[in-house]
Amino acid sequence: MNDFDLGIDVSSLARTTEQLKNLQAQFPDLSNVQFPTIAPVPIPSYITNPPIEAMEINVPPFAEHIEHTEAYQKKSIEILEQIQQNTAALYTITELINTANDKQSDMIALITEILTISKAHDKEEADTLFKKVFDKIQYVSDSAEAIAKLSTIAVAVYQLVMKLF
């Protein structure tokens, strides 16, 4: 083996060279080949002239947007505070029922009656139901703390109902 031997099969290389010469003989000059012309494809009118008119986008002024966002956030906080108060009332109700050992059924009946204030159809009916419940509160419990909690719940329900009228 000499220093210039690259391990290429000379006969394979000769065959490939011969094939290239044959192709060149078959296609001597490709510059004169005429290709068919293709007519341009027309663009449909609905693409160039869409039937939908461009709409204007009204962007509110930045200051107005900030005010609206702040009002929304303030309202969200108020709602969250109301939810917190409502869930606190649920804890209070559960505590009242649990601690009213010998008067649990009376306590449940009174809490149910407090909630019936919400069934009122007008202010007068709500006032009547509220006064009736308020009179019963002092007779159900001996504890001043329980009376205060029941009164707070009754007032909260009454105030919610009054917002409806």
- Give pLDDT tens digits for 111-122: 999 999 999 999
| Structural domain that includes position 122 | 102-165
Contact criterion met (CB below 8 Å) for 117 and 130: yes
pLDDT for res 1? 47
Whole-structure pTM over 0.85, yes or no? no
Q: Mean pLDDT throughout 4-15?
A: 69
Radius of gyration of the chain (CA): 45
Evaluate whether residue 126 is within a structural domain: yes
Which of the residue ranges 3-17, 29-43, 50-64, 80-94 has the most confident prediction, judged by mean pLDDT? 80-94
pLDDT for res 33? 62
> Does 17 have pLDDT greater than 50?
yes
Q: Mean pLDDT throughout 40-46?
A: 72
Q: Could you give the angle at the alpha carbon of 34 between the alpha carbons of 28 and 38, nearest 5°?
A: 150
Evaluate whether residue 127 is within a structural domain: yes
> Does 2 have pLDDT greater than 60?
no
Q: Mean pLDDT throughout 72-95?
A: 86
Q: Mean pLDDT throughout 98-109?
A: 84
Evaluate whether residue 152 is within a structural domain: yes
Confidence of residue 70 (pLDDT cuts 50, 70, 90): very high
Evaluate whether residue 28 is within a structural domain: no
- How many structural domains compose the chain? 1
The CA-atom distances, in angstroms, between 4 and each of 8, 17, 79 are 11, 20, 91
DSSP 8-state class, residue 4: T
